[in-house]
């Protein structure tokens, strides 16, 4: 199985945009209790209940998934441009979490196809990875792509009924540049948020152990994640994450309506509150210092003093 299809390779080679190398980390990390501001123009206009998910900053705009809880979990990708205008970027994307490959394309966890997909910004889709041991996935949720195109993603069962088939367990996967799919962890119940440290030497994944949420860290040695260790325990229901340039991890706690910020050693340094259930976060804006947060039909922003990952 190839990781990238011919369409994907062509899109990457033709792409005029690539993420610039990260600048030196300056400024102060957040501290204490903070409150993010709701972006009124992005409030959901749907009549059905649902969630915003997977914010990703590409070039000069924020993209995010907007899906409902109806049959098949219908989803579309929305765009918030620099002027504050919100529009539909890709109809019927079937997506949850989003990331970028660094070439201006969207990497999407797509429950509609039970795969991880690549979307060009004009809406063309191709599969990056679609099966493990001959079966489709449950409902890919969140992911991180390393600078060498190694892909890590979570596969809980939240949207498993969106399409037929699935796996016998919920897992975290690694997809090498050769297309080989391997299991990172199959002990987390419904693994969710996935992030990489700035140096790409630690993989972070959150999920449930029994009735408690945990943030788990996996050292990466020679490109391969090692056994994970629980960095933070007793989380609320964990969801998506972001990482700033100092390596601090911003963990969404879904029904607690907040993100908590932890150092790479697991020490809590800040809390960021919102006014609805929260799903994920990403850094963006002209200077890369605005934290965008998605949740239940809402999008928030918070100006910070540090840069961070764009998804």
* Ranges of each domain in the chain: 32-303
Tokens of 154: 């979570």
CB atoms within 10 A of CB 41: 11
* Residue located via tokens 């610039």: 20
* Residue located via tokens 């408690």: 212
Q: What's the CA gap between 105 and 190, in Å, rounded? A: 27
Model pLDDT, residue 47: 87
Tokens of 30: 């957040």
Model pLDDT, residue 11: 34
Q: Which is it for the CA torsion 125, 129, 133, 138, positive or negative?
A: negative
Q: Which is it for the CA torsion 100, 103, 104, 106, positive or negative?
A: negative
**CATH no., domain 32-303:** 2.120.10.30
Tokens of 301: 């922003």
Per-residue pLDDT of the chain (311 residues; tens, 9 = 90+): 334 333 332 333 233 333 333 457 989 999 999 999 999 999 998 889 999 999 999 999 999 999 999 999 999 999 999 999 999 999 999 999 999 998 899 999 999 999 999 999 999 999 999 999 999 999 999 999 999 999 999 999 999 999 999 999 999 999 999 999 999 999 999 999 999 999 999 999 999 999 899 999 999 999 999 999 999 999 999 999 999 999 999 999 999 999 999 999 999 999 999 999 999 999 999 999 999 999 999 999 999 999 999 99
Q: Residue 311 contacts by C-beta under 8 Å, 6 or more apart in sequence? A: 54, 55, 56, 57, 98, 99, 100, 144, 242, 282
Q: How many residues does the chain have?
A: 311
Model pLDDT, residue 2: 34
Closest listed residue to residue 308, CA positions, set 29, 116, 11: 29
Model pLDDT, residue 102: 80
Q: What's the CA gap between 298 and 197, in Å, rounded? A: 27
CB atoms within 10 A of CB 81: 12
Model pLDDT, residue 23: 55
Cβ 172 vs Cβ 205: under 8 Å: yes
Q: Which residues pair with 139 in a beta bridge?
A: none
Three-class secondary structure assignment of the chain: CCCCCHHHHHHHHHCCCCCCCCCCCCCCCCCEEEECEECHHHCCCCCCCEEEEEEEEECCEEEEEEEECCCCCCEEEEEECCCCCEEEEECCCCEEEEEECCCCCEEEEECCCCEEEEECCCCCEEEEECCECCECCCCCCCEEECCCCCEEEEECCCCHHHCCCCCCCCEEEEECCCCCEEEEECCCECCCCEEECCCCCEEEEEEEECCEEEEEEEEEECCEECCCEEEEEEECCEEEEEEECCCCEEEEEHHHCEEEEECCCCCEEEEEECCCCEEEEEEECCCCCEEEEEECCCEEEEECCCCECCC
Full-prediction pTM beyond 0.85? yes
Tokens of 184: 């990172």
């Amino acid at each position: 199985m190839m990781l990238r299809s011919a369409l994907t390779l062509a899109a990457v080679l033709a792409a005029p945009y690539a993420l610039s190398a990260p600048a030196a980390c300056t400024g102060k990390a957040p501290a204490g209790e903070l409150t993010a501001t709701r972006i009124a123009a992005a409030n959901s206009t749907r009549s059905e209940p649902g969630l915003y998910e997977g914010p990703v900053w590409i070039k000069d705009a924020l993209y995010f998934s907007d899906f409902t809880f109806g049959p098949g979990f219908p989803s579309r990708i929305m765009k918030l441009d620099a002027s504050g205008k919100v529009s539909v970027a890709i109809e019927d994307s079937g997506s949850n979490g989003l990331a970028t490959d660094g070439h201006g394309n969207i990497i999407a966890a797509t429950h509609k196809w039970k795969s991880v997909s690549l979307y060009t910004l004009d809406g063309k889709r191709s599969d990056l990875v679609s099966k493990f041991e001959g079966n489709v996935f449950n409902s890919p949720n969140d992911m991180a792509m390393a600078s060498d195109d190694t892909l890590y993603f979570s596969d809980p069962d939240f949207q498993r009924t969106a399409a037929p088939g699935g796996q016998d367990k919920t897992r975290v996967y690694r997809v090498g540049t050769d297309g080989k799919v391997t299991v990172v962890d199959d002990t987390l119940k419904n693994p969710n948020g996935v992030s990489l440290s700035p140096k790409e030497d630690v993989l972070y994944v959150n999920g449930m152990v029994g009735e408690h949420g945990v943030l788990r860290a996996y050292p990466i040695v020679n490109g391969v994640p090692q056994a994970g260790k629980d960095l933070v325990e007793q989380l609320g229901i964990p969801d998506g994450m972001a990482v700033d340039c100092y390596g601090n991890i911003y963990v969404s706690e879904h029904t607690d309506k907040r993100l908590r910020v932890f150092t790479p050693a697991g020490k809590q340094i800040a809390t960021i509150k919102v006014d609805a259930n929260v799903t994920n976060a990403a850094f963006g804006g002209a200077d890369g210092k605005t934290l965008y947060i998605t949740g239940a039909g809402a999008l928030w922003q918070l100006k910070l003093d540090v840069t961070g990952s764009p998804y």
